[in-house]
Structure 1
Amino acid sequence: MTTRIELKEMRFYAYHGVMPQETKVGNNFVVNLILTAPLEQAVRSDELDDTINYAAVYEVVKEQMDIPSKLIEHAAGRILYALKERFPQLAAIELKLSKLNPPFGGDIHSASIILDETYP
């Protein structure tokens, strides 16, 4: 059985960016996650200790989003590594970090980085 946890549209106001205005004014960001882990025991037991606590995942993401980065690639990488450290049972992480309305003079909804990591 493959088990995945999906957390969609986690929204944050953060200060990631290369331009000086981005680090002073900030911007809206959205994080989407799909976490793969062996959670068969939770399917049977109905116990929180047998799964990955969604609230704890959110706190890890929030903690990393609160640290400014020039690049969303760097912020996304920090989130990925922090999640794997906090939840070593993870077999795979798919993470999408989007900056809404990036400030480069075009009509664009968002710019995103997608990281997809599988662990042995």
Structure 2
Amino acid sequence: MGIIKLKNIRTFSFHGCLVEESKIGSDYSVNLEIKTDLTTSCLSDELKDTVDYVLLNRIVVEEMAIRSQLLEHVAQRIIFRTFNELPEITKVIVEVSKLNPPIGGDVESVTIKLKEYRK
């Protein structure tokens, strides 16, 4: 087994419960970690034998472009889509961070983290 991580995927998205957030938008950072069998690709050196991290990045960017009120909702969509499109993945961990959230304090970010195993 092996792990592939995409760290700090940056997007500008429109998530949040406040009406202003749907109009103004905000900066986000996403970390995605997947578990899969990398045995074949370690030996073959062929892209077809591994999970293409370009596709993983595309899934994150496309799901972040769809507005959600809650960060956990968009994170769950990323997990569902990752499992649906890549059957060789056995575990997904996703962290979605809203940078400089409008919560009335000096807070760098708010992050939710979800972990799910293929059923």
TM bin, normalised by shorter chain, reads: over 0.9
> TM-score normalised to the size of structure 2?
0.97
- Structure 1 runs of 4+ aligned residues shifted over 4 Å read none
Residue 16 of structure 1: SS of its match in structure 2?
Answer: coil
Structure 1: runs of 5+ lacking an equivalent? none
> TM-score normalised to the size of structure 1?
0.96
Residue 93 of structure 1: SS of its match in structure 2?
Answer: strand
Pairwise CA distance, 1:19: 0.6
Find the counterpart in structure 1 of residue 62 from structure 2.
Answer: 63
1:35-90 C-alpha deviation (Å, 9 max, x unpaired)? 10011100000000000111111111111011000000101011110111111110
* 2:33–2:92 Cα contact (<8 Å) kept: yes
- The one-letter code matched in structure 2 to 1:17 is G
Identity level (%): 38
- The one-letter code matched in structure 2 to 1:3 is G
1:69-118 C-alpha deviation (Å, 9 max, x unpaired)? 00001010111101111111101011100000110111101111100111
Measure the CA separation in 2 of the matches of 1:78 and 1:34.
15
Find the counterpart in structure 2 of residue 94 from structure 1.
Answer: 93
Measure the CA separation in 2 of the matches of 1:67 and 1:99.
15
Measure the CA separation in 2 of the matches of 1:28 and 1:80.
21
Measure the CA separation in 1 of the matches of 2:22 and 2:10.
18
Find the counterpart in structure 1 of residue 80 from structure 2.
Answer: 81
When the two chains are superposed, the root-mean-square deviation of aligned CA atoms in Å is: 0.8
Find the counterpart in structure 2 of residue 111 from structure 1.
Answer: 110
Find the counterpart in structure 2 of residue 33 from structure 1.
Answer: 32
Measure the CA separation in 2 of the matches of 1:76 and 1:44.
33
